[in-house]
Amino acid sequence: MVCRETEKEAKAAQQAIIDNGDWAGAKNVMDVLGIQSGSFGSQIEKYQERFIAGWGGPNLVGTPEQVAEQFAELSDAGMGGAIFGFHDYAKELKEFGDEVMPLMRKHGLRH
């Protein structure tokens, strides 16, 4: 999850994570899982980006409001729980609690 004050900042931070990611490591994980270029053709680089940015799961990127909306969309699709991470865990977990959780409560996603 990458949550920043503006969408532009969030997207730039997400891109920096991808640009500085462990591409060889992502390829190794994908190989172990059987996700290989012969199976996915030109999509392989996008899959590597997804592994770098979040082990292949959904990447929630945006402002606090946008992140809360993305959680709502996942909930509406039937997802009842999630595991997610942050690039700077200690700092960003506090920001998530202060900025995103109140919005999730407002939308009925948290108690």
pLDDT in tens, 11-42: 999 999 999 999 898 888 888 877 766 656 66
For residue 3, list its beta bridge partners: 62
Q: Phi/psi of residue 34, each to 5°?
A: 85, 15
Q: Is residue 111 part of a domain?
A: no
- For residue 65 the two structure tokens come to 């409001």
> Hey, what amino acid is at 39?
S
The pTM assigned to this predicted structure is: 0.81
Give the C-alpha separation, 57 to 8, whole Å: 22
Domain enclosing residue 53, as ranges:
2-106
Q: Is residue 98 part of a domain?
A: yes
Most confident of 20-24, 37-41, 95-99, 106-110: 95-99
Give the C-alpha separation, 59 to 68, whole Å: 13
Please state the domain count of the chain: 1
Handedness of CA 63, 87, 8, 62 (dihedral sign): negative
pLDDT in tens, 3-19: 999 999 999 999 999 99
pLDDT of residue 42: 67
Could you tell me which residue, 46 or 40, shows the higher pLDDT?
46
